[in-house]
Amino acid sequence: MKRLAKRVLLIGWDGADWKMIEPLLEKGQMPNLERVINGGVMGNIASLTPMLSPILWTSIAAGKHADKHQILGFAEPDGATGNIRPVTSTSRRCKAIWNILSERGLTSGVINWFASHPAEKINGFVVTDRFAHAAGPPDKEWPVPANAVHPVELAEELRDCRVHPAATTPMQVLPFIPKVAELDHVKDSNLHQLRMLLATCATTHSVATWLMHTQAWDFMAVYYDTIDRFAHAFMEYHPPKMEHVSQEDYDRYKDVMTGCYRFHDMMLGRIIQLAGEDSTIILLSDHGFHCDRLRPAGSSKIKDGRPVAWHRLHGILAITGPNIKKDQRVYGASLLDIAPTILGMLGCPIPRDMDGHALTQVFEGDPVRFDEIDSYETLQDDYSSPDAEEDPWVVQKMLSHLAELGYIEGDSTEGVVLDRARNLGQVYASSGRPAKAIEQYEKVLAKRPDDKGCKIAIASCRLQTGQVDECEQAVREILTDEADAPQANLYIGMIAFRRGDTAKALEHLQRAEKADPRLPGLHCQIGNVYLRRKRWADAERAFTKALAIDGDSAEAHDGLGVAYRWQKRPEEAVHQHMQSVGLLHHRPQTHIHLGLALAEVGRIDWAIRAFNVALEQNPNNPFPHRCLAQLYERAKKDPTKAAHHRQAAKRLARRRQRGSRRDNSPRPEQ
């Protein structure tokens, strides 16, 4: 298979968001990223649920959902001691891209990747996520953690790359906090946090640049967690001033996030220079981070182990290098697509058991088709580190750090186990497996019967599986407080909608809107009710409201497209549906809507492609087959293909009729 990249550099910026970046690009304050964009492709990349960094970065490296790789949070039980520990590479249950490349004889480098400790013995080098964190006071020896570096002989050479927080100077902090001289350098907790994050980031970058300069590699992955960590500490101070922030604190810290992004751009310039013009660069984030009017009320600091409230569903993606299109956008990318894309670039077959797909649209020239293989998991190469007892002091220090940040509940083993079950439930629920999700949530309730979040999650899964009565009973039992009224009305409205009672649905959804009008998903629900009632102009207004709140709502773009099509505005409908699939590609009903709109404007071949994508994503839906049968019969004059799709539609319709429940939810063809 033809190799499209001499080598690939994958750069991770945790939490980076185009909403922060675009104003800086316009001011010329991120010139290195601008060069990447102009010389390649850029766009949004859809995150996964739950939006927790260890889960997401492992999914990026493996191309698989978390139920397959089993990294399910920031911490995990230690089977040997019964205690908890930060997540480790030994708990990953499938191969990462660097393991696969090693099997293919290629050389990989992995730096600071989440859940990479202990270092795997790959063909290349690994510096784990334990290496960069300062362990001890600045006047004491700072040993390299055991198994943090592979090959082990690199550890001594990398020792001097580390930066201790105490070594950061006021001059280095000045670009982030111009009034740093006014702060108490001993008591100011924000300053202390910034210096810690700056030192960790500088260590990661120093290690990356030294290894790029001294080691050979075909693939390198470098992960910077600093944007996300900075954002949780300082995004609440970012302009415009939030209500809960004092004027004094606003004046002190309002420049921190801008400084953080500009700092990353400077590091990007150096790392691209070292990679060379013959390298392919992939820069991405695992999710975005709210920075504007959509910021939640209150502090951005993580509380109660729930860091995701400030996270946005869409991260950034930029790709540049030989054979990559220039100055264009990429649409519909998912975190799961990165691993198969890199394998294809480096001439390796793409495994069918990966959940993502290669982003073939980013390459110049004729359409690209990559070879496939069933799986790489059948090969039994051993990449594990030698068994070694972990330094308990280092482990406890990292756990304390995670607890301080709010990622875990102190040292509670039970809390970690239940968090893992809760997170796995979210993975199943978000990937269309509600029955499996309920099993995980019930494990949590068995230990914590008052867990309101799990009860609501189960109710949502019941609604997803058509168990409308059970969902309603649960909602009325759980959401009883006055503070719950918006959420209760939202659920009762959705339940009424599923039952076909659009009047009652609209009544409750409008009550929820009155209580909390800032929820874009709520306006989408209202829009769907109007679509069902054939009130196209009202639906248009509802979806437009949703987009005014969040312009990146794939559901709102799709609903608006449906409203446009029914108002005889098919060209505008095509545009909205294209926007939707560009934001969230794996949504079969949107491809159906796009196909219908394309057919109306006479783009028959494109319409056929859209219906085929819908079938790839949901092969059990008869409706795309019906549409394809009509297109092949009337427009393409191909009775053979028309008959094939007509028969497939009848077969699926009979199967659906035999196994169906009563379901009044809106069908994709509406």
Give the span between the Cα atoms of 459 and 437, in whole angstroms. Answer: 11
pLDDT at 192: 87
pLDDT at 241: 96
Give the pLDDT mean for 584-590: 92
What the chain holds in terms of domains, given with CATH numbers, is 8-379 (3.40.720.10), 391-478 (1.25.40.10)
The answer to whether the CB of 446 falls within 8 A of the CB of 417 is no
Listed as own residue / partner, the contacts of 652-656 with beta carbons closer than 8 Å and 24 or more positions apart are 652/620, 652/621, 652/622, 652/625, 653/622, 655/620, 656/620, 656/622
- Phi, psi dihedrals of residue 481, rounded to the nearest 5°: -80, 160
Q: Given a cut of 60, is residue 661 above it in pLDDT?
A: no
Residue pLDDT, tens place only, 572-585:
999 999 999 989 88
List the single range of 78-92, 428-442, 556-570 with lowest mean pLDDT.
78-92
Measured in whole angstroms, the distance separating CA 165 from the mean position of its chain's CA atoms is 30
Question: Which residues sit opposite 9 in a β-bridge?
Answer: 220, 281
Q: Which positions ≥6 away from 607 have C-beta within 8 Å?
A: 594, 595, 596, 598, 599, 627, 631
Q: Given a cut of 80, is residue 401 above it in pLDDT?
A: no
pLDDT band (50, 70, 90) for residue 406: low
Give the pLDDT mean for 28-49: 97
Measured in whole angstroms, the distance separating CA 356 from the mean position of its chain's CA atoms is 13
Q: Which positions ≥6 away from 366 have C-beta within 8 Å?
A: none
Q: Given a cut of 50, is residue 662 above it in pLDDT?
A: no
pLDDT at 482: 84
pLDDT at 394: 57
% the chain with pLDDT above 90: 76
CA distance readout (Å), 192 to 77, 198, 199, 256, 401: 30, 10, 11, 13, 13
Helix (H), strand (E) counts: the chain: 27, 16
pLDDT at 669: 42
Residue pLDDT, tens place only, 306-353:
568 899 999 999 999 999 999 999 988 999 999 999 999 999 999 999
Give the span between the Cα atoms of 609 and 378, in whole angstroms. Answer: 34
Q: Given a cut of 70, is residue 393 above it in pLDDT?
A: no
Give the span between the Cα atoms of 406 and 416, in whole angstroms. Answer: 13
Q: Given a cut of 60, is residue 237 above it in pLDDT?
A: yes
pLDDT band (50, 70, 90) for residue 609: very high
pLDDT at 319: 98
Q: What is the 3-state composition of the chain as percent helix, strand, coil, each rounded to the nearest 5?
A: 55, 10, 35
Q: Given a cut of 70, is residue 643 above it in pLDDT?
A: yes
Average pLDDT of the chain to the nearest whole number: 91
pLDDT at 19: 96
pLDDT band (50, 70, 90) for residue 668: very low
pLDDT at 71: 96
Give the span between the Cα atoms of 584 and 581, in whole angstroms. Answer: 5
User: Tokens representing 639?
Assistant: 């009775």
- Phi, psi dihedrals of residue 125, rounded to the nearest 5°: -145, 150
User: Tokens representing 181?
Assistant: 């001289």
Give the span between the Cα atoms of 509 and 29, in whole angstroms. Answer: 43
Measured in whole angstroms, the distance separating CA 597 from the mean position of its chain's CA atoms is 29
pLDDT band (50, 70, 90) for residue 183: confident
Residue pLDDT, tens place only, 278-310:
999 999 999 999 999 889 888 988 665 456 889
3 state SS of 290: coil
User: Tokens representing 453?
Assistant: 């979040």
pLDDT at 143: 84
Q: Given a cut of 90, is residue 84 above it in pLDDT?
A: no
Question: Which residues sit opposite 45 in a β-bridge?
Answer: 315, 333
Residue pLDDT, tens place only, 452-474:
999 999 999 999 999 999 999 99
Provide the residue type at 367 as one letter: P
pLDDT at 354: 97
